[in-house]
Amino acid sequence: MPKQESKGFMLKMRNWRRGAAALAFFALLAAPVIAPGPGGMLRVPGPVGDELVPVAEAADTQGPAISADAGIVVDAKTGEVLFAKNADKREYPASMTKMMTCVLALEEAGADELVVASANAADVECTRIHAGDTVRMSDLLRQMMTISDNGAATAVGEAVGGDIPHFAEKMNAKARELGCTGTHFVNANGMPDSDHYSTAHDMARIMSYALGDTRFRAIIGIDAVRIYYVRPAGRVEFCENTNELLTTYPGCIGGKTGWTNAARGCLAVAAKRNGRTLVAVVMHSQDDESRFTEAARLLDYGFAQ
């Protein structure tokens, strides 16, 4: 290339770079600005001016990819949403429902209270309970939360509420107290019902609240336990926790699994690292295993923030 032509080429390149830099600068000035808003909302530009959207909705645009229909990870202490996907969409909560059942039993019943299982409690899917079985409340809660025993949950609900409809009223009142806006319970165990639903965000709210009770933390942290029945005398049930992350995820405090054909895979799980506790929830996972891997992915993402 001739010397003069080379100088002309370099001059053109320099002018092009300056123009590109100017365009980038003005594009940055024109870019939408996301700013904090009141009441857990974010202020974002809309077609007719700034709009306020829920933090969970604003968080949907970034973070880890998950195949679960809904998911969220929050700071258990502050409630800060670190990632959310469809977090306010109604889903079947399946056995994550039992977190609320456990909370109410811990707050309203005595640990040594004797619970006699009814025929109604024995007549549900996935239970080791038989009509007439007598178990201490503390043991019944351990059986319910470790192996996700549906009959145990029904027995707890009947003991605390008198019957399931009244217990469901207590559950819904407590949910409202905790700020749950997309939740309605009709049973104590999470069996499918069109009027029994929740959201990932609400499940995170319930779990975060429950973690404040050391008794709840102790129950969800049980890897395996033997349950000794009062009647029939001598009966012992060995219960192993269904939450795989309890023994595989560093810092895992515990959680609650859920699975029905309607709900698919569900999991609410808490973990603590460096003094910080996070809660992750996934709902309607593709299969049994992905609920664990994707909840772990959400926790990893949260702790990296």
Active-site residues, by number, are 95, 98, 148
State the greatest distance between any 2 C-alpha atoms of the chain, in Å, as a whole number.
103
CA distance 48 to 52: 12
Q: With helix as H, strand as E and coil as C, how does 22-45 read?
A: HHHHHHHHHCCCCEECCCCEEEEE
Identity of the residue numbered 207: M
H helix runs in 181-252, sequence order: 200-210, 214-220, 245-248
DSSP 242: S
Burial class (CB in 10 A: 0-12, 13-18, 19+), 78: exposed
Are the C-beta atoms of residues 225 and 146 closer than 8 Å to each other?
A: yes
> Count H helices, E strands: the chain?
11, 12
Are the C-beta atoms of residues 269 and 282 closer than 8 Å to each other?
A: no
Judging by DSSP bridges, how do beta strands 236-240 and 224-228 pair with one another?
A: antiparallel
CA distance 105 to 159: 9
What CA–CA distances, in Å, run from 86 to 52, 120, 206, 232, 304? 17, 35, 17, 46, 22
Q: What's the N-to-C CA distance of the chain in angstroms?
A: 52
| Count of residues in the chain | 305
